[in-house]
Amino acid sequence: MSNQIDQLSTNQEGHLQIGGVDSLELVKKYQTPLVVYDVKAIRDQIHHFQKVFQDNGVDFAVSYASKAFACIAMFQLINQEKGHIDVVSGGELYTAIKAGFPMERVSFHGNDKSRAELEMAVEHQIGVIILDNFHEIDLLKDVLEEKQSHINVMLRVTPGISAHTHEYDQTGQVDSKFGFDIQSGQAKKALGLVLEDDRMNMLGIHCHIGSQIFEVNGFEMAAVKLIDTLAQWNKEVGYVAKVVNVGGGFGIKYTEEDDPIAPEMFVDAIVKAIKKRTAETKLPMPAIWIEPGRSIAGPAGYNLYTVGSRKDVPGIRSYVTVDGGMGDNIRPALYQAKYEAVLAKNPKAPIKETVRIAGKYCESGDILIQKQDLPATQPGDVLAMLDTGAYGYAMASNYNRNPRPAVVFVENGKSQVAIKRETFEDLVSLDEEFE
């Protein structure tokens, strides 16, 4: 039995318990497929991050990367814990507005912000816009002039650090669609354009080297590179940064194969590296911002499915099919991401077989877990897939015209709906008749 499974909470009946609520009771009340978040796990991880900064005596912001999972309830939860959020679209920003989230604690990312999105950000006076390219600088300049307004900005730079992670998750290297390249001088040119515009207040710089990273050295190297860049800018044009944002990407444990350190240990290493290099370069100590998404939402999430059909291929393998799949968790198909699952009625039951867990979507690649050790299962049993809180529902689709599942928050033995289950009527609500 893996450590992941061994650490799961169970009740007196032996059923998987989430946030003090029996998982089978959740299924009875809300049906499947169902996405469940343990709210306490989210709060606890935010507190772990905050404590690292407090212990190191530095100004900070823990900015939740809402692309991992966004909805009104999630933003309101982050606000309760005095967190910041970063958004990457007009839709995420609009959700934050509807949630009543304090706009001064919102950062706006993205490599192709539209004029309409920038107008929304300026109108609502969000905390900072992270500029990603020269086109964006020009657009924002026009918007600010038109609206006779001002806004805080930062520059996203590519430090040339290649994180040890999946190719598609590497965003800090030079050959990237994101950010201004430091090496070629693009970043310095962007700095000049921002500084000459009185309507833009240049807070600092930002980088993001990748996702699902297990080693601290990449973050330490990136932190040093950012401070060295700021030292050069200070020497050349007298610029002093108020904020250094090192992004996120802190890896979490999905299966026994994963061996990450605690997410807050990454942050401790980053803070110490920045403090040291800042002192060496004789720069004022900036505030340090981080943008964890996966490490906050991922371990807190569970996907509950009902077992349906089974196919046994003699001498090869057995398939167990559930009532969800790539429509609610595309990561296994997209990234070959690995997860673990348990039988909800008895997660610690003796293992009887190894099966392939398949989804219901009409694609041969709709496989949620390639090899999963399980007790014997029957149609109607509930499987709980673990650590699904990041980039699951956030990337969900209506492929095959399947409605997206409900999302439920649980805490202290109580549950509440965060996102309603889509209906068939919802699926056709935007359709128009053909004439």
CA distances from 74 to 79, 286, 386 (A): 9, 29, 19
3-class DSSP state of 328: coil
Flag whether 249 is marked binding: yes
First to last CA, the chain: 59
* Look-up of token digits 């590497």: 170
On whether both 188 and 268 belong to a single domain, the answer is yes
How is 81-97 classified by DSSP, letter by letter?
A: TT-EEEE-SHHHHHHHH
Same domain for 333 and 396? yes
* pLDDT tens per residue, range 199-247: 999 999 998 887 788 778 888 888 999 999 999 999 999 999 999 999 8
User: Is 331 assigned to a binding site?
Assistant: yes
Residue 286 lies in a domain: yes
> Which of 253, 276, 297 is the endpoint of a domain?
297
Residue 435, domain member (yes or no): no
- Do 255 and 316 lie in one domain? The reply is no
Residue pointed to by tokens 């099966």: 355
Beta bridge partners of 409: 37, 416
> Looking at residue 141, which CATH number applies to its domain?
3.20.20.10
pLDDT of residue 165: 45
Predicted local distance difference test score (pLDDT) of residue 258? 83
192 in a structural domain: yes
Q: How wide is the angle at C-alpha 21 spanned by C-alphas 35 and 252, nearest 5°? A: 50
- Please check whether residue 220 lies inside any domain of the structure: yes
Instruction: Give pLDDT tens digits for 145-174.
Output: 999 999 999 999 988 766 554 443 444 455
How far is residue 117's CA from residue 388's CA, in Å, rounded to a whole number? 29
Instruction: Mark whether 293 and 325 lie in a shared domain.
Output: no
What is the percent of the chain where pLDDT is above 70? 95
- Model pLDDT, residue 170: 43
Say what the pLDDT of residue 255 is: 87
**What's the CA angle centered on 89, arms 404 and 146, to 5 degrees?**
145
Q: Do 215 and 109 fall into the same domain?
A: yes
Domain, as residue range, for 270 = 39-297
Give the CATH number of the domain where residue 402 resides.
2.40.37.10
> What's the confidence (pLDDT) of residue 173?
58
Same domain, 274 and 380: no
Q: Where does a domain end: 297, 314, 345?
A: 297
Q: What is the predicted pLDDT for the residue at 169?
A: 40
- The active-site residue out of 362, 380, 401, 435 is 362
Neighbours of 356 (CB within 10 A): 18
Residue 425 falls within a domain, yes or no?
no
What pLDDT does residue 175 have? 63
428 located within any domain: no
- One-letter amino acid of 378: Q
Q: Which of 240, 275, 297 is the last residue of a domain?
A: 297
Q: Write phi, then psi, for 233 (nearest 5 degrees).
A: -65, -35
Q: What is the mean pLDDT of each run of 10 residues along the chain (435 residues)?
A: 75 96 98 98 96 96 97 98 98 98 97 97 98 97 98 92 49 67 91 97 91 82 92 96 91 85 87 95 96 95 98 96 98 95 96 97 97 97 98 98 98 98 98 96
Instruction: Write phi, then psi, for 307 (nearest 5 degrees).
Output: -70, 135
Is 393 flagged in the annotation as binding?
no
pLDDT of residue 179: 83
> Does residue 254 have a known ligand-binding role?
no
The answer to the question of whether 294 is labelled as a binding residue is yes
Count how many domains the chain has.
2
- Looking at the fold, whether 314 and 266 belong to one and the same domain comes out as no
Position 427 in a domain: no
Same domain for 408 and 320, yes or no, is yes
On whether both 190 and 272 belong to a single domain, the answer is yes
Same-domain status, 161 and 271? yes
For the beta carbon of residue 221, count every other beta carbon within 10 angstroms: 18
Please check whether residues 228 and 334 belong to one and the same domain.
no
Domain-embedded: residue 431 = no
207 catalytic per annotation? no
Q: Are residues 219 and 351 located together in one domain of the fold?
A: no
